[in-house]
Every structure is written in structure tokens, then in C-alpha cells.
């Protein structure tokens, strides 16, 4: 997508929520509305590690608002998670399953690459 000149935003979900919270601070250079509007309308959004964020009511609501807005506008969104779907916010999962959203869920059965090689290290 980048090679085609499409604007892409890749963000790790906990980091995204931290950035949104920080926009409420008095020293923030970017306002909340400006930041969330970018996330809601960027031509391609990649949300990495959904389900690793603190599951506060505020976090669940903000994530749902972002995904739902993108769903309503049929904007492509890629969501990665190593959590089972039943452990994610079901409002978001419901958007992932909607045919109108052209959703496709791919399950990748592979070892965690971050753990590769750990067992071979000397103690």
C-alpha cells in the first residue's frame, strides 16, 4: 500500500491509547480531536496487538468508536492479535465478521518469533 502511495498508519494498540490519553494534557502539541480523526480516517489503519491494552471502560469505548467509524465508512483496517476472538471486545469482533466490512479472519498457527532462540541461549 505504501508503494502505491496510500497513507498507512501502523500503531500498537496500547501505544495508541497512551497517545490519545496524552492529548488531554495541557502540554500536548496535538489535540485529541485531531489525533483521533487521523486514526478514524487514515486510508489504511493497522492495529497491532489488540487485546494487550488495559481493558478499562474508556479504552474499550475508544477502540470501539474507532473501529465502528471505520466500519461505517468501509475503510480498510488490519487488526492483529494473539488472543482468541472470544477474549476480545465482542463489539469489535462483530465488525470483523460483517460481510459489508469485507472482513476476513486469518488464523496463523506459528510459534512466537519473539521466543525463537531463547531456549538455545546459554544459561
Name the grid cell of 115. Answer: 521466543
| Full DSSP string of 53-113 | S---HHHHHHHHHHHHHHHHTT--EEE--SS-GGGS-HHHHHHHH-GGGT----------T
Domain ranges for the chain, please list them. Answer: 8-100
Burial-class residue 29 by CB neighbours within 10 Å (0-12, 13-18, 19+): exposed
Q: Which residues, 6 or more positions from 52, have their beta carbon under 8 angstroms from its beta carbon?
A: 12, 13, 14, 81, 83
Question: Which pLDDT belongs to residue 8?
Answer: 96
pTM exceeds cut of 0.85: no
Question: Which pLDDT belongs to residue 118?
Answer: 59
Name the grid cell of 33. Answer: 480531536
SS3 assignment, position 40: helix
Question: Which pLDDT belongs to residue 98?
Answer: 61
123 residues of the chain, pLDDT tens digit each: 889 999 999 999 999 999 999 988 888 888 888 989 999 999 999 999 998 888 899 999 999 999 999 999 989 999 888 887 788 778 888 787 665 555 666 677 777 766 666 555 444
CATH number of 8-100: 3.40.50.300
Amino acid at each position: 500500500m505504501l508503494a502505491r502511495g496510500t497513507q498507512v498508519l501502523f500503531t500498537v494498540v496500547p501505544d495508541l491509547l497512551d497517545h490519545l490519553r496524552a492529548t488531554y494534557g495541557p502540554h500536548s502539541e496535538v489535540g485529541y480531536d485531531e489525533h483521533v480523526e487521523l486514526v478514524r480516517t487514515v486510508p489504511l489503519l493497522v492495529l497491532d496487538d489488540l487485546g494487550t491494552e488495559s481493558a478499562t471502560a474508556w479504552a474499550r469505548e475508544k477502540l470501539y468508536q474507532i473501529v465502528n467509524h471505520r466500519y461505517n465508512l468501509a475503510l480498510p483496517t488490519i487488526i492483529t492479535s494473539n488472543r482468541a476472538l472470544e477474549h476480545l471486545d465482542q463489539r469489535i469482533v462483530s465488525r470483523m465478521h460483517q460481510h459489508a466490512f469485507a472482513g476476513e479472519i486469518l488464523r496463523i498457527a506459528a510459534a512466537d518469533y519473539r521466543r525463537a532462540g531463547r531456549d538455545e541461549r546459554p544459561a
